Structure 1
Amino acid sequence: MTKQFHFISGLPRSGSTLLAALLRQNPRFHASMSSPLGALVSANLQLMSPGTEVSLLMEEVHKPRLLKGLFDAYYGDNDARVIFDTNRQWCAKLPLLAELFPEAKIIACVRDVSWIMDSLERLIRRHPFQNSRLFGSDADRATVYSRVEALARHDRLVGFPWAALKEAFYGEQAESLLIVDYDLLARAPGKVLPLIYDFIDEPCYDGHDFDHVEFDAPDFDEALGLSGLHRVRPKVAFQPRRTILPPDLFKKFQGMDFWRDLTASKANVITAQRTDE
């Protein structure tokens, strides 16, 4: 059976796990948290690139076959007709995905960066007796200022996917990109999901249950020292709150939501109005 591949990417703490949990309710679909395929693709690209012995033994025609074979092998035992693979790297690899899977669409979950930082800081403070592996040194994890600055670096949890999304948003494959705002997904999943179905050209599924949506990956999260990172609450709902970040730090990351301006992009956007609290 031929599988249709689509991809979930975007920013952390922005609803990608929630979206996957919702999509997985459709028996035709498979979706989950991040898979290892992003890392496997990157590792094989490194091996096949100039400067390695492997590259001298390969023809160009072999490369896409081998990379596509990773997907076929990983999902070979999966009976779902439509596969959504999740990884933060995919937004930085749209030209490659377009070559491997020309019909694929990329769904990127987003959220105001200030609230992403707030959400991560809340998780960190819930575990005061352990050091999260999100930070590589005591200097990085010392204060809320150093923690947030570390996460915002170009190669870290927030900085990298933000830059990758911006690349995809303004790139040649932007038409295959759908931006889904977390606030709107949480407030009105019944309105957002039909738009996603339309974007991926699939018949809408009537069996979605927004009051019984659960997902958890405790072993994975514990290994990061950040329990609850991928836990989804049973009922989809937006929970307004005040930020725990100092006001100057919260304001520093406001205005980074470039996806609200479509004047220079062909991307598709499902977004809600900005909220400050």
Structure 2
Amino acid sequence: MPAFHFISGLPRSGSTLLSALLRQNPRFHASMSGPVADLISCLLQEMSARNEYSMFIDDTQRQRVLRGVFEQFYGPDHPAEVIFDTNRSWCARLSLLQTLLPRAKVIACVRDMPWVIDSVERLIQRNALSPSSIFNYQAGSTVYSRADAIANGDGLVGYAYNALKEAFFGPHAAQLMLLQYETLVSDPQRALAAVYDFIAEPAYAHDFDNVEFEADEFDRRAGTPGLHAVRRKVTHQPRDTVLPPDVFQRFTQDAFWRNPEINKHRVRVI
């Protein structure tokens, strides 16, 4: 069976770029967010007390069933030796991952929160003719209502942010590494070296000038062309924000991972 690791963290923070780089290694499989986490959630619910037949299912059986999702989804003949599954909810599942796959690690991509909000808003404004699945394909909202929607606890950003804090401050934080978007795009060599060290895999010579990733059809169906686009060359490109100053300022104090005084589990932050 291949080794399993996970990519999680905040949206618009480099997870697609990280996957595009990792998949250059022929030993690795990595892609955009997939359905495995949702399959696990559905099975957990159906094997819980809400189902009258749950009395016939013990924890050993639950564990076998859930491990089987990983093993069978990717298949026993999958050519990769190391599989990275991507989903924002993995940060809220560290206890489960510790039970099912105790050697697995989670790389959480993070980014200054105002720029996460900015990146979503930039996508929406760029695709003015295509209402996005991010906002249930609704049109006519404002930048303020959009920021509120994605930042609340059930929103695209708010849920991921809360899951990240749960992982960072929780009892299984040793499984977690935070990879800052700013590091990934400005010093990709250092970023990838840290990932390889964290998962205890031998280094690989990545090509940071020829990065490829294709998800145009998925993005089009989601009403958000460019959602998973990556530049061919990894580079940091400073820009002005498209957010009003008060919206930008609202999120400027949210990068808790930059405060070493509260990093009680000494989570790696790269």
Aligned equivalents of 1:59 and 1:102: distance in 2?
20
Whichever residue aligns with residue 235 of structure 2, its letter is A
Query: CA 1:63 to 1:262, structure 2 compared with 1: closer, same or farther past 3 Å?
Result: farther
Per mean C-alpha deviation after superposition, the further-off stretch among 50-59 and 29-38 is: 50-59
1:48-197 maps to which residues of 2 (within 5 A)? Answer: 48-76=47-75, 77-136=77-136, 138=138, 142-197=141-196
**Contact persistence 2:168–2:267 (CA under 8 A):** no
SS of residue paired to 1:61:
helix
SS of residue paired to 2:145:
helix
Partner of 1:212: 210
Aligned-residue offset at 1:138: 4.7
Aligned-residue offset at 1:56: 2.4
Q: Unmatched 5+ residue regions in structure 2?
A: none
Aligned equivalents of 2:155 and 2:226: distance in 1?
19
Aligned equivalents of 1:84 and 1:266: distance in 2?
24
- CA deviation map 1:189-237 (0-9, x unaligned): 011111111111111112x100000112112111211011001111000
Partner of 2:245: 247
Aligned equivalents of 2:119 and 2:105: distance in 1?
28
- CA deviation map 1:153-198 (0-9, x unaligned): 1111100000000000000010110000001100010111111111
**Structure 2 length-normalised TM:** 0.96
Aligned equivalents of 1:213 and 1:130: distance in 2?
27
Whichever residue aligns with residue 260 of structure 2, its letter is L
Partner of 2:233: 235
**Contact persistence 1:178–1:267 (CA under 8 A):** no
Structure with a larger share of its residues in helix: 2
**Contact persistence 2:219–2:225 (CA under 8 A):** yes
Q: Aligned residues, how many?
A: 268
Whichever residue aligns with residue 237 of structure 1, its letter is T
Per mean C-alpha deviation after superposition, the further-off stretch among 255-264 and 195-204 is: 255-264
Whichever residue aligns with residue 234 of structure 2, its letter is V
SS of residue paired to 1:102:
coil
- CA deviation map 1:76-133 (0-9, x unaligned): 1421101111000100000000000111110000001100111111110111112112
Aligned equivalents of 2:104 and 2:123: distance in 1?
33
Aligned-residue offset at 1:55: 1.3
Compute the RMSD of aligned alpha carbons. 1.3
**Contact persistence 1:9–1:90 (CA under 8 A):** yes
Aligned-residue offset at 1:135: 1.3
**Structure 1 length-normalised TM:** 0.93
Partner of 1:275: none
Aligned equivalents of 1:245 and 1:186: distance in 2?
22
Q: Unmatched 5+ residue regions in structure 1?
A: 272-277
**Contact persistence 1:211–1:236 (CA under 8 A):** yes
Percent identical: 53
SS of residue paired to 2:133:
coil
Partner of 1:30: 29
